[in-house]
Amino acid sequence: MIIRAERPGDRPEILALVEAAFPQPAEAKLIRELFASREYLPALSLVAESDRQEILGYVITTRAWIGAGTSLGLGPIAVLPGYQKQGIGSALMEATIAAATTMGESTIVLLGSTEYFPRFGFVPADSLGIASPDPSWGSHFMALRLEGFVAGQHGHFKYADPFNHL
């Protein structure tokens, strides 16, 4: 398996994967909108590809903001149902973190499992002074400081515009 940046020709397979991984259509619709948004970052739209060139997993991370400063919003992340719990999601997360670090980004923020994402260093965002768009998310709203983190970066988090249409 290799992790690589998605190519425009991958999109039908990515959308089919996301539809298979999530029973509700919201995630696939969101990804379509993120591809077309100004916040789309091609270097952080990653696929996990098998040696048979089948896309097994996908993650997208887009431009976001904390107060007036830039950040990243991760998600959705998806793995084909028959390949889950085999390390593909972890490989996608590690590749995303490495790429974002190389790009000099400050933080990655996400909404997700409090049992899964802390293994990558994510902590409740409010513990870093990052306010959630929806306070009901509680500790599921998490953030990871990267090497580009600037002391004092805090405030209200804003996802890429397509997230506002959910």
Q: If 0-12 CB within 10 Å is exposed, 13-18 middle and 19+ buried, where does residue 15 land?
A: middle
pTM of the predicted model, to two decimals? 0.95
Q: Mean pLDDT throughout 131-156?
A: 93
pLDDT tens digit sequence for 24-39: 889 999 999 999 999 9
pLDDT tens digit sequence for 69-89: 999 999 999 999 999 999 999
Instruction: For each of the domains in the chain, give its residue range(s) and CATH number, in order of start.
Output: 2-165 (3.40.630.30)
Q: If 0-12 CB within 10 Å is exposed, 13-18 middle and 19+ buried, where does residue 104 land?
A: exposed
Residue 40 near residue 62, CB atoms below 8 Å: yes
Backbone dihedral angles phi then psi of residue 2, each to the nearest 5 degrees: -125, 155
pLDDT tens digit sequence for 107-139: 999 999 999 999 999 999 999 999 999 999 999
Residue with tokens 């990655």: 108
